[in-house]
Structure formats: structure tokens, C-alpha cells
Amino acid sequence: MSSLPYLKFAGPVLDEATIAGVGEVLRSGWITSGPWVRKLEEALSGFCGGRVVKVLTSATAAVEVALQLAGIGPGDEVITSAQSFFTVLNMIVKVGATPVFVDCDLVTRNIDLSAVEAAITPRTKAILPTHWPGSLVDMDALFALARGRGLRVIEDAALVMGSQWKGRNVGAFGDLVTFSFHPNKNMTTIEGGAIVVNDADEAKRVDALRFHGITFLPDRTRDVAFPGGKFNMPDVNARIGVAQLERLPEFLAVRRQLVDRYFERFRTDPPCLLPPRPVSADGQSWNMYSVLLPLEAMSLTRAAFREALDLEGIGTGVSYEALHLCTLGRRYGHGEGDFPIAERIARETVTLPLHAGLTPDDVDRVCAVVAKTIGRASRQ
């Protein structure tokens, strides 16, 4: 058992000014969606090159609304990676469509676009890729493919707020883009998310889809023409989001400095498979530092490895289980061996501590404990 402070693998940095700001909102007499939601949406729009951004209670809600906005429902197919978070599978199924999985790249973990091309059928309506920290999906290839086939693109950008493609922020271009503001992400609203849309009509539809499906009539009554959800973000959360967005560049710089330190100090024998190494000023953001463990050369299971780190005061995560092998994913006819790379990542991945509240010394501590634990468990 370590006497050193416990290092969580993810978490937010909340300053006193933000906490005071929340107090002001609580005292203001308006705590649900109101002026702070509008302020956050304007600030996010500025961040996304002037495109319209709407905030919601989670990225999961944003993905559901994006699918509805794209008119996706029963009989439609949506292509997604077998290596992502449950949100993408769940929301495709929830709107009544069929998830079509493809495999991913072993190092970047991004969706394999050549496999996407092969998976397109006349029923395909959209591609739903998740961008991974450290390396975005190839946007030029993705949009060439989607536009050539008349498909919508819903980018799951939950992990990459602040990443850039050729100098432009993710969200500043493309089709529909969703972000998460969960406390483990690059910025937080406690729970929360956002969707970037294409025009005023789509924005109006999001307004209804996130609030009961309601539209307001000239006689000051209301109508519902389609069933909406209840996904509006409260002002208390939006107040936090405004403060967090202001500090995002600083948070991203700290994360990048910590990732550089990981690459400098992380050595194990046998070696782990590391994420793509950053090159200077490459515009990538780093939400997670996930490595693949050399399990076949170790006498420890991943669970035992994580337990050993936990006892040393180091938290870890698993990002992610293979979607096609969870009980819901198997309902679509899948089993072991269908997407070998996604499955290998699911077996071997471990996410190490990385957030803006850590120091380079914390990273050194993680690297030392990981090296010791893997070294002791080595079968070589």
C-alpha cells in the first residue's frame, strides 16, 4: 500500500473562480437553461469556426440527437468502429438502426477507412467514427469517401476537444460533430456534451430534439410534431463550461507536456505498444495515455496488473471493450475473431493517469511503478 497521494487516471481541474461563479448562478434565480447556455454556445461556436453549436446534457445525448437529425432509423445501417465507447453502439441501436462494425488501426486505434468502404451497402446512411487522442481519423479520406457515397458523417469527438486537422479545430468543419464534457474529458461541465450542426434549420431541430420535441407557436402555445428527449443543459453546468473553455489551451498544454514526459520516461521490459508519438506542433490533443500490455510475455493478467498499480496508488482505466463482443453487440451476429485488432486492444489496453492536475513527477512515478510491475512479471 502506497503512502503517496492516489493518482486518478482522469479528472478535472476546477478553480475557485469557477466555484464562485456557480454560486452566483445558483443565487441568480435562473438555474436551468438560460443566459449561460447561450454564452457557452456562442463561445463554442467561436471555437468551431463560427459553426452553430448546441449544448446538451451529455455526448451520448448529442450522438442520439445527431442520428435523429440525420434522419436515421429502422432499416438504416451506420458504420462504426468495434473499438470505441458503448455510446456509439447504444445510440445507433436506440434510434432503431443497425450498427455495422469494422476494425481499427492497432496504433492510432482509429477506424479502418478501407474496411468502411468495403462495409457500405445500399442501406448505409452514415459513418460514425470516434477520433482517438494523439491522431485524428484522416479527415480528407473520410470525407472523400462519405461525400462520394452520399453518406452523413457523425464525428464522435468526445476525446479530442482542441485537436486540429491542418490548422483547424475539430468541429470547425465537417458534417455533424459531437463533444463530451464529462469530468474525464479535456474540459468539463460535470456532465454535458455538444453537437456542431450545419445550418439554422438543423439548429432549430436540435432545440426541439433536446427539449420534448416542442416548438413554440405564435399564439404562445406549444406543439410537438415528433418525440423529443429532455437533454437541455442547466445554466449551472454551462457556467462551468464557459470557465473551462477559457482555460482549455492551458489544460491542453499541460496534458501535452505530460505526454512528452511519458514518451521520455516510459520503458518496460518486455515493451508495451505505445500510442503514436507526438511530433512538435502537430495540433493533437491528449485526453488519454493508453498503452497495450505485453500480456503474452507476462505472468500477470491485466486485472492483476491493474490491482498491483492500484495498491501503489495509481488508478487505471480500460478504453475500450470491443463493442461487437458485448452482449448487445453479439446480438448483431458477432463473435471472437471478427475484428482482431479491436479485440487485441480490448484485451491488452490500459489507460494510465493523464489529466491537467498531474505533474511530470507524477508521470515519473507511474513510469517507475509500471516498469517495476511488468519487469517482475516478465516470463523472459
Catalytically annotated residues: 185
Asked whether 374 and 270 are in contact (CB, 8 A), the reply is: yes
First and final CA of the chain: distance in angstroms?
27
Q: Does 45 bind ligand PLP (CB under 6 A)?
A: no
Rounded-to-integer distance, Cα 48 and Cα 172, Å = 4
* Angle, vertex CA 250, rays to CA 244 and CA 254, nearest 5: 120
| Minimum CB–partner distance for residue 85 and ligand PLP (Å) | 4
Could you say which of 18, 45, 80, 84 contacts ligand PLP (CB under 6 A)? 84
Sort 344 into a burial class: Cβ within 10 Å, 0-12 / 13-18 / 19+. Answer: middle
Kindly identify the residues of this chain, within the stretch 120-149, that bind ligand PLP according to CB under 6 A: 130
Q: Which amino acid is at 100?
A: V
Residues in contact with ligand PLP, shown as a per-residue x/- string from 291 to 310 under the rule CB under 6 A: --------------------
Nearest CB to ligand PLP, comparing residues 84 and 186: 84
If one asks whether residue 159 binds ligand PLP (CB under 6 A), the answer comes out as yes
Contact partners, residue 253, CB within 8 Å, separation at least 6: none
Should residue 83 be labelled a site residue for ligand PLP when binding is judged by CB under 6 A?
no
Cβ at position 118, least distance to ligand PLP in Å: 23
**With respect to ligand PLP, which residue has the nearer C-beta, 192 or 213?**
192
Contact 157, 193 (CB under 8 A): no
Burial (CB count <10 Å: 0-12, 13-18, 19+), residue 22: buried
316 lines the binding site for ligand PLP (CB under 6 A): no
Q: Which is nearer to ligand PLP, 133 or 228 (CB)?
A: 133
Among the listed ranges 55-63, 196-204, 217-225, 359-367, the one in contact with ligand PLP (CB under 6 A) is 55-63
Give residues in contact with ligand PLP (CB under 6 A). Answer: 58-60, 84-85, 87, 130, 156, 158-159, 180, 182, 193
